Amino acid sequence: MVRSLLRRYGLITLFSVVFALGFDWLYVPNNIGLGGMTALGQIVNVLIPSLPIGTVVLVANIPLFLLGWKFLGGSVLISSLYAMAATSILVDVFASLFTFSPIDPILAAVFGGAITGFAIGVIFAQGATTGGTDLIARLLKLPFGWLPMGKLLMAVDLVMLAGVSLVFQSLYSALYGLIALYISCVVMDWVLYGMDTSKVAYIVTSCPKEVSHSIFDQLDRGVTILHGEGAWSGEARPVLMCAFKQRQIITLKQIVQQCDSQAFLIVCNAHEVLGLGFGRYHQNDL
């Protein structure tokens, strides 16, 4: 329990550093809007330069955390409060320690979006958020559970990008921000959902028992027998269905070939496989 907690908060801390560094290095010197409460911090910082971006984000998140406490519960909110405080403070710390020079805005948008998206995705995966619209998206996930987090976050952040464009008096700030936001959301969804490398195989074979036993013995995976029928021949055709890990695909192909060289094999991508040997459902899963 303690080890798991230390690992969780260690990852949140590490990727809070990555997020803050990516923001100060690639967004701030190029006047690219990040979206969300951080965009609000950028807007206020332009209007009142004496107010650091991180401090503004920290204060603006207080009412959102009070709202989130009611719907998300203490565990999610405590880790989110920690992540929000860490990212906000680190943004100000890096800004005070380093002065980053502007670079090509396209490069800044592409790599800034990738870095911040990856960092936020890992933080989300630990059951936390960085506050702001991340928290709003997390709350929206409750009634709209079928929508990916990245898409929810993008919808919420678009409004703030328009505000950044007005303050910077540059349409390009919003356009580059839109590029960064899209990449960030795609990378975030890949971290949250795309790293599940499970597969599912459908095997039409005349040797179902032999294939099934070989899969049990060599892959340690369960097999479900579906009762199919050939549309042209009208003959009964057992169909084996088996979920397995990406790394086991070569072994599976070899098993099928050795047991029945005439078998028909279909392998499909499978995400969020739950059950014995795979993941388990948790109430706060994204």
| Tokens describing residue 129 | 């958020």
Among residues 37, 82, 42, the alpha carbon closest in space to that of 63 is found at 37
- pLDDT tens, position by position, 35-44: 777 777 888 8
Kindly give, in sequence order, each residue whose CB lies less than 8 Å from that of residue 39, ignoring residues fewer than 6 positions away: 33, 157, 160, 161, 163, 164, 177
User: How many C-beta atoms surround the C-beta of residue 148 within 10 A?
Assistant: 18
User: How many C-beta atoms surround the C-beta of residue 187 within 10 A?
Assistant: 21
User: How many C-beta atoms surround the C-beta of residue 39 within 10 A?
Assistant: 29
The model's confidence at residue 31, banded by pLDDT at 50, 70 and 90, is confident
List, by residue range, all CATH 3.30.70.120 domains of the chain: 198-270
Going from the C-alpha of 83 to that of each of 117, 122, 160, the distances in angstroms are 15, 11, 21
Going from the C-alpha of 137 to that of each of 54, 121, 134, 153, 172, the distances in angstroms are 20, 13, 5, 5, 26
- pLDDT tens, position by position, 144-177: 766 776 677 777 777 777 777 788 887 888 889 8
Among residues 125, 139, 51, the alpha carbon closest in space to that of 91 is found at 51
pTM for the model: 0.68
| Tokens describing residue 203 | 């095997």
Cα(62)–Cα(258) distance, rounded to whole angstroms? 62
Name the class of domain 198-270: alpha beta
- pLDDT tens, position by position, 253-278: 999 999 999 899 999 887 666 666 65
Burial of 271 (0-12, 13-18, 19+ CB in 10 A): exposed
